[in-house]
Homo-oligomer: A and B are copies of this chain.
Amino acid sequence: MEITAEQSLLIIQRIAAKAREIKIPVTIVVVDTAGHIKSLQRMDDALLGSIDIAMAKAKTAMLFRNNTESVGEWFTPDAKNYGIMNTNGGVVGFKGGMPVRSGDQIIAYIGVSGGTSDQDFEIASAGSKF
């Protein structure tokens, strides 16, 4: 099951509502399970640097079917996965990217950027279940 535009917009609304609640303007990206962008919304006053980071988080989560902070464990110096961060056109390993699940199934991936990575995680989580 592939995400619909209607679902994607609803996910963005939920995430944006959470962002407004904690007063952190963010960029929100939704990609399908193949990584192709479905929806993007940059909230007013979000940092311009958040656009590319939100895209990178959604892409990374999709590439490894996982939360970005979990992927980040492969990026530590101890993991010795030299160069892995440069693959796939550049990936990121910190909070803010995750799958969107409907029941057990992943229907999309989201990326949020604009606050600290903890804030981005909290905000993105508002859109991770459908």
Segment at the B interface, from A56-64, A99-107, A121-129:
A56-64
The answer to the question of A48 belonging to the interface, with a C-beta cut-off of 8 Å to chain B, is yes
Q: How many copies does the complex hold?
A: 4
Please tell me if the beta carbons of B35 and A34 are within 8 angstroms of each other in the complex. yes
Specify the chain B residue showing the minimal Cβ separation from A40. Answer: B40
Residues of B within 8 A of A14 (CB): none
Of A41, A47, A56, the most chain B CB neighbours within 10 A belong to A41
B37 touches A39 (CB 8 A): no
A78-97 contact mask (Cβ, 8 Å, vs B): 1 or 0: 00111111111111111000
B81 and A94 within 8 A (CB):
yes
Residues of B within 8 A of A65 (CB): 47
Distance from A6 Cβ to chain B, minimum over Cβ atoms (Å):
8
Report the bound CA distance from A34 to B76 in whole Å. 31
A-B contact pairs, 19 of them (CB 8 A): A5-B16, A5-B42, A5-B44, A32-B34, A34-B35, A38-B41, A39-B39, A39-B42, A47-B64, A48-B63, A52-B87, A52-B88, A56-B83, A72-B80, A75-B82, A76-B82, A80-B93, A83-B93, A86-B90
Which residues of A approach B to under 8 Å, CB–CB? 4-5, 8-9, 16, 32, 34-44, 47-49, 51-53, 56, 60, 62-65, 72, 75-77, 80-94, 117
